């Protein structure tokens, strides 16, 4: 009897445990029977595709190199240097001129702004004083309704060059006196006057601003819509106002004086004219000075370009000679600057070129041989297409760390309907390890053929152990896990030769839990007389089995961190509801995102199965 315990250690070494996942326990009766191993016989190798090995590549015939050299197209290096230097000088001069113009315009703008601010300050102070004094003096005029005196006052104000218009308005909105006598007839002692209400567009805002203290700050001025006039107003009370501006008596009316802001408009227009003149003068001055610098720079660029391009042309000529097959040509080095260093490097390159050509030919031959070896090894493992046998679906993944790998897996449907799944990992990777996987494949196929598929996992492991021991002479060993799934009894029997314990993911009471197919045994090829134990357990519908090699959990990212069992199980848990092919792709994608661009140090193999 064998106990199946979830979350058992992945390594066959005792005493190790997984830190996560809750255990589930099942007591399984071992139903497998041991069979005596077959006598040792020569193990036939796997079928090899008809591939013609490439013949060794001979050393290159330098004399046979094509001597047709394409003609140089485009401008010479000296012309490019001259044009580039000239363009650079033009750009620098243009930038200098632009900065000069910008600075001049900034100075003009600052001067204009200062004049405007000074005008506004002066106007504010004079207007506030004038309107306040006139408002105080108009108290008896309003009290006694002396409209003729009011008219004389606004006419006098209108004569000022800074005043656009002025008027007195009674508290009821009727005009008492207005400088525009055409719109508002003046009072006369000889006629009875007909009052007209004020129609100033700013009158509603003036009424909102009834005040006795006037704003001198230009930001608080009331301006006409076109911004050309600033309007000041003060409310006149029957008894005037106190020193602090408190109104005394009743509201008699309002004094309104509009001051022109033509100076600001004139100053702005003059600033535009000044900036235009400064712009023209600056560019003329810059163009004259820039032309002198550009001419001097052009002459210097021509001299320097000729000095640099001459040895470069000589180097290009020698390079063309080598391209034509003359590997004996060399460059005469006469300077110790970068051009001289380039010439020395060119001569060293010519010395090494023949050696590199031979090495390239040898490497190409070796790469072709390795490619053939990889093609052969790819026939040892099944395709990545999902296998669907009704009662079980499985999908595999195989990725060697180099052109040839030491991982291997296979599956077979035995004659009685059982499914055989074998996965193995040879120490190391590369061509030697790949040869051992070929021996394992041959041994597996031989056992199946000789027993007519009536095999057990223990018999299979013992035959494979002997074949690998005889082939590798203990220089290479192989971990291996063999499983046989019986669809009739829905039972899996398994044996282990030092391999990672496969995972079983099962949903219990709505919660997914991990378990392991746990059994131990010596690695294949360690000892001739090694024996292996067969364990078994029942499977349930929707159980997920995952066989894998240690490459996927031990490969590292660019920070030296291993992917690890916890991340591996987490990726399985996230995709456990998917079909085996999709589950495999999801798990592989998660690991590859973790590895990033870091080269893998070991082969990666994984097989995923789902019980129907």
* Residues 249-271, mean pLDDT to the nearest whole number: 85
Using pLDDT thresholds of 50, 70 and 90, give the confidence band for residue 501.
very high
* Residues 263-287, mean pLDDT to the nearest whole number: 82
Q: Which residue has the tokens 């669809």?
A: 487
**Rounded-to-integer distance, Cα 5 and Cα 27, Å:** 9
More confident site: 536 or 352: 536
Which neighbouring-strand residues pair with 424? Answer: 408, 480
Does residue 36 have a pLDDT over 90? no
Give percent of the chain with pLDDT exceeding 70.
85
pLDDT at 213: 55
What kind and span of H or E run contains 423? strand 419-426
Does residue 188 have a pLDDT over 50? yes
pLDDT at 572: 96
**562 Cβ contact list (under 8 Å, min separation 6):** 553, 554, 555, 556
Pairing of strands 387-388, 251-260: unpaired
pLDDT at 420: 97
pLDDT at 528: 92
The number of beta carbons lying within 10 Å of the beta carbon of residue 417 is 14
Does residue 35 have a pLDDT over 60? no
pLDDT at 13: 39
DSSP assignment string, 518-558: ----PPBTS-TT-----EEEE--TT-EEEEE-THHHH-B-T
Q: Which tokens sit at 478?
A: 């192989």
* Residues 412-437, mean pLDDT to the nearest whole number: 90
Does residue 289 have a pLDDT over 90? no
Q: Is 390 left (phi over 0), alpha (psi -120 to 50) or beta?
A: left
The number of beta carbons lying within 10 Å of the beta carbon of residue 51 is 11
pLDDT at 68: 46
pLDDT at 40: 37
pLDDT at 214: 64
Identify the sign of the CA torsion 97, 98, 100, 101: positive
Is the CB of residue 403 less than 8 Å from the CB of residue 371? Answer: yes
Does residue 395 have a pLDDT over 50? yes
More confident site: 167 or 71: 167
3-state secondary structure 287-347: HHHHHHHHHHHHHHHHHHHHHHHHHHHHHHHHHHHHHCCCCCCCCCCCCCCHHHHHHHHHH
**Rounded-to-integer distance, Cα 376 and Cα 250, Å:** 114
* Residues 298-308, mean pLDDT to the nearest whole number: 80
Does residue 579 have a pLDDT over 60? yes
Half-sphere exposure of 411 (CA within 13 A, CB side): 26
Is the CB of residue 478 less than 8 Å from the CB of residue 524? Answer: yes
Angle (nearest 5°) at CA 396 between 395 and 402: 160
**Rounded-to-integer distance, Cα 566 and Cα 17, Å:** 12
- Looking at residue 220, the DSSP 8-state letter turns out to be G
Cα–Cα separations (whole angstroms), residue 433 to 206, 403, 404, 471, 603: 100, 11, 8, 11, 11
Q: In what order do the strands lie in the sheet containing 491-497?
A: 407-413, 419-426, 478-486, 491-497, 535-538
More confident site: 586 or 264: 586
**Rounded-to-integer distance, Cα 541 and Cα 482, Å:** 21
Lowest mean pLDDT of 64-68, 231-235, 543-547, name the range. Answer: 64-68
Lowest mean pLDDT of 310-319, 413-422, 428-437, 497-506, name the range. Answer: 310-319
pLDDT at 198: 87
* Residues 475-487, mean pLDDT to the nearest whole number: 95
Query: How far separated are the first and last CA of the chain, in Å rounded?
Result: 26
Highest mean pLDDT among 146-160, 198-212, 392-406, 514-528: 514-528
Using pLDDT thresholds of 50, 70 and 90, give the confidence band for residue 211.
low
**Rounded-to-integer distance, Cα 229 and Cα 497, Å:** 102
**Rounded-to-integer distance, Cα 444 and Cα 46, Å:** 10
pLDDT at 185: 83
Mean pLDDT rounded to a whole number for the chain: 81
* Residues 359-388, mean pLDDT to the nearest whole number: 78
pLDDT at 32: 38
pLDDT at 70: 54
Angle (nearest 5°) at CA 132 between 182 and 235: 70
Using pLDDT thresholds of 50, 70 and 90, give the confidence band for residue 74.
low
**Rounded-to-integer distance, Cα 546 and Cα 563, Å:** 16
Does residue 252 have a pLDDT over 80? yes
Is the CB of residue 148 less than 8 Å from the CB of residue 185? Answer: no
* Residues 205-234, mean pLDDT to the nearest whole number: 77
What kind and span of H or E run contains 395? strand 392-399
Does residue 110 have a pLDDT over 60? yes
445-461 confidence digits (pLDDT tens): 999 999 999 999 999 99
More confident site: 199 or 331: 199
The number of beta carbons lying within 10 Å of the beta carbon of residue 220 is 10
Which neighbouring-strand residues pair with 407? Answer: 425
pLDDT at 37: 37
Does residue 63 have a pLDDT over 80? no
Give percent of the chain with pLDDT exceeding 90.
32
Closest CA to 252 of 169, 309, 331: 169
């Amino acid at each position: 009897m064998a106990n199946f315990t979830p979350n058992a250690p992945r390594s066959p070494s005792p005493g190790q445990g997984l830190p996560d996942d809750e255990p589930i326990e099942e007591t399984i009766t071992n139903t497998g029977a041991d069979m005596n191993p077959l006598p040792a016989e020569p193990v036939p190798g796997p079928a090899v595709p008809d591939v013609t090995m490439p013949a060794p590549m001979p050393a290159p015939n330098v004399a046979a190199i094509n001597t047709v050299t394409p003609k140089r197209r485009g401008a010479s290096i000296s012309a490019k240097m001259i044009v580039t230097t000239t363009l650079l000088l033009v750009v620098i001069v243009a930038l200098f001129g632009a900065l000069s113009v910008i600075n001049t315009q900034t100075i003009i703008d600052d001067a204009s702004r200062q004049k405007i601010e000074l005008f506004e300050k002066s106007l504010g102070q004079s207007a506030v004083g004038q309107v306040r004094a006139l408002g105080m003096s108009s108290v008896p005029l309003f009290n006694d309704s002396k409209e003729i005196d009011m008219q004389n006052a606004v006419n006098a104000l209108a004569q000022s060059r800074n005043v656009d218009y002025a008027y007195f308005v009674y508290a009821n909105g009727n005009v008492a006196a207005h400088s525009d006598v055409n719109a508002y007839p003046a009072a006369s002692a000889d006629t009875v006057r007909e009052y007209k209400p004020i129609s100033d567009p700013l009158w509603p805002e003036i009424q909102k601003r009834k005040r006795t203290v006037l704003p001198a700050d230009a930001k608080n001025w009331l301006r006409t819509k076109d911004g050309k006039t600033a309007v000041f107003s003060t409310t006149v009370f029957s008894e005037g106002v106190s020193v602090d501006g408190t109104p005394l008596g009743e509201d008699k009316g309002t004094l309104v004086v509009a001051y022109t802001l033509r100076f600001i408009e004139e100053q702005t227009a003059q600033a535009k004219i000044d900036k235009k003149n400064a712009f023209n003068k600056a560019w003329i001055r810059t163009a004259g000075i820039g032309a002198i610098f550009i001419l001097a720079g052009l002459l210097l660029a021509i001299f320097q370009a000729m000095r640099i391009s001459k040895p470069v042309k000589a180097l290009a000529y020698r390079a063309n000679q080598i391209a034509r097959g003359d590997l004996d040509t060399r460059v005469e080095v006469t300077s110790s600057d970068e051009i001289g260093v380039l010439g020395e490097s060119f001569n060293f390159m010519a010395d090494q070129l023949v050696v590199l050509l031979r090495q390239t030919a040898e490497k190409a031959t070796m790469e072709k041989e390795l490619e053939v070896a990889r093609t052969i090894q790819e026939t040892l493992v099944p395709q990545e297409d999902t296998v669907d046998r009704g009662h079980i679906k499985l999908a595999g993944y195989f990725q060697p760390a180099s052109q040839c790998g030491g991982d291997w897996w296979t599956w077979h449907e035995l004659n009685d309907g059982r499914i055989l799944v074998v996965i193995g990992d040879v120490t190391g990777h590369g061509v030697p390890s790949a040869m051992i996987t070929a021996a394992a494949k041959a041994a597996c196929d031989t056992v199946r053929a000789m027993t007519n598929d009536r095999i057990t996992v223990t018999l299979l492991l013992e035959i494979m152990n002997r074949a690998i021991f005889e082939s590798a002479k203990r220089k290479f060993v192989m971990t291996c896990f063999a499983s046989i799934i019986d669809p009739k009894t829905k039972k899996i029997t398994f044996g282990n030769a030092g391999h990672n314990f496969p995972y079983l993911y099962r949903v219990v009471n709505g919660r997914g839990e991990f378990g392991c197919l746990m059994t131990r045994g010596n690695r294949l090829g360690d000892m001739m007389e090694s024996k292996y134990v067969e364990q078994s357990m029942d499977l349930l519908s929707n159980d997920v089995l995952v066989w894998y090699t240690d490459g996927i959990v031990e490969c590292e990212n660019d920070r030296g961190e291993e992917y690890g069992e916890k991340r591996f199980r987490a990726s399985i848990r996230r995709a456990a509801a998917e079909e085996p092919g999709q589950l495999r792709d999801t798990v592989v994608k998660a690991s590859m995102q973790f590895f990033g661009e870091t080269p893998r140090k070991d082969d990666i193999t994984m097989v995923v199965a789902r019980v129907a």
